[in-house]
Amino acid sequence: MDTLDFLVRKDQLSRTELRTVPAPALDAGQVRLRVDKFALTANNITYAAFGDAMSYWGFYPAEDGWGRIPAWGFADVIESRCSGISLGERFYGYYPMSSAVVLQPIRLSTAGFSDGAAHRAALHAVYNSYLRCSSDPFHTAQTEDQQALLRPLFITSWLIDDFLADNNFFGANDTGDAIVLLSSASSKTAWGTAFMLAQRKGIEVVGLTSAANVEFCKSLGCYHRVLDYGRLEQVAADAACIYVDFSGNAALRKDIHTRFANLKYSSSIGGTHIDRLGSARDLPGPRATLFFAPAQIKKRSGEWGADLLGQRLLQAWQAFLGTLGKPGQPWLVVKRHQGPQAVSAAYADVLAGRGDPRLGHILALN
């Protein structure tokens, strides 16, 4: 049996290769899973763009300057030398863009396991854990595509909203409504953040996006205002505001820091504008601060306990998921890409930022 890997050149993300390698025999304690499907969004491209700086290449190493981009999805156990993991079991987690993967389960529980591979020991635990679909409260068979596409992003969205509220919006709403500006407002992570923020009082949620995506953002129903990137002057220069940056666009960040004298906080979340990334040094106003989701999870787990945090996340997730299918609400349109050539083509499109933000791409190499 062979394994098919989708490889990306680390220093040139547009160069890809499909490589077939013989599947290694399992060692004692290991399992082999067939990767059934995974989601591909700008988030995965960011994993690659920051692959070295933030160790994303470290999860599934490849050789000679090539990398395997991690992706969230579902996989089934097709071979097991690990007691406690049965053939046919299905797990949600962080997989390579490959047809199959070998993992080394440790810390087994009814909820799932962690991959104990030595090369992953120093990487963040949240990416090393695999959840049994049979006991995962987030899992329903009918919503697997939505889970692969939105769940990891929505959890970040929820944490951003919680982090801002936890910090009293950095004083931005002390004397009136605070404005929260979100770039790449058409991204799924910004959408989830806007969904959460819009439920709070005293916050005006302003989406910034490309001209082509303005109508889509308006249709989401959770932005109070949507502006294209060239219309910043429509927000008063003295407004008390917070910038939540999903685009990583250095020029836009500079414009925002320069225009808004009352910018209370600047949070760097992502880098969708992959060809416009740049240094955040020497900006007027507050320091652009990288948002580190695991830190907020750790804080809330400590304060509330893991169970209560899990319940709150689940409740918010179910509410968010509920909006996808309501009449008048924007459906997330799932588009499937099955097989090696289709996966390569979908990757090229997502890398180029082409396409309709309504689409959610679900890929499979098998």
CB atoms within 10 A of CB 90: 18
Q: How far is the CB of 227 from ligand NAP (least distance, A)?
A: 11
Q: How far is the CB of 224 from ligand NAP (least distance, A)?
A: 16
One-letter amino acid at 38 equals F
Residues that bind ligand NAP (CB under 6 A): 41-43, 46, 153, 156, 184-189, 209-210, 213, 246-247, 269-274, 291, 293, 352-353, 357
One-letter amino acid at 100 equals A
Q: Which is nearer to ligand NAP, 160 or 240 (CB)?
A: 160
Q: How far is the CB of 189 from ligand NAP (least distance, A)?
A: 3
Q: How far is the CB of 139 from ligand NAP (least distance, A)?
A: 20
Q: Which is nearer to ligand NAP, 83 or 289 (CB)?
A: 289
Q: Which helix (H) or strand (E) holds 31?
A: strand 31-40
Q: Which is nearer to ligand NAP, 105 or 207 (CB)?
A: 207
CB atoms within 10 A of CB 234: 10
Q: Which is nearer to ligand NAP, 170 or 246 (CB)?
A: 246
Q: How far is the CB of 231 from ligand NAP (least distance, A)?
A: 13
> Both tokens of residue 286?
């507050």
Rounded to whole angstroms, the Cα distance separating 192 from 338 reads 27
Q: Which is nearer to ligand NAP, 188 or 300 (CB)?
A: 188
Q: How far is the CB of 120 from ligand NAP (least distance, A)?
A: 18
Rounded to whole angstroms, the Cα distance separating 222 from 100 reads 39
Catalogue the long-range contacts made by 284-289 (C-beta closer than 8 Å, 24 or more residues apart): 284/257, 284/258, 285/257, 285/260, 285/261, 288/243, 288/245, 288/253, 288/257, 289/265
Q: Which is nearer to ligand NAP, 80 or 184 (CB)?
A: 184
E-state strands within 216-300: 225-228, 241-245, 263-268, 288-290
Q: Which is nearer to ligand NAP, 95 or 173 (CB)?
A: 95
Q: How far is the CB of 64 from ligand NAP (least distance, A)?
A: 26
Q: Which is nearer to ligand NAP, 100 or 343 (CB)?
A: 343
Q: How far is the CB of 157 from ligand NAP (least distance, A)?
A: 8
> Both tokens of residue 268?
């760097």
Phi and psi of 106, rounded to 5°? -135, 170
CB 91 within 8 A of CB 132: yes
Catalogue the long-range contacts made by 294-301 (C-beta closer than 8 Å, 24 or more residues apart): 294/124, 294/125, 294/126, 296/159, 296/162, 296/163, 296/166, 297/126, 297/159, 299/166, 300/162
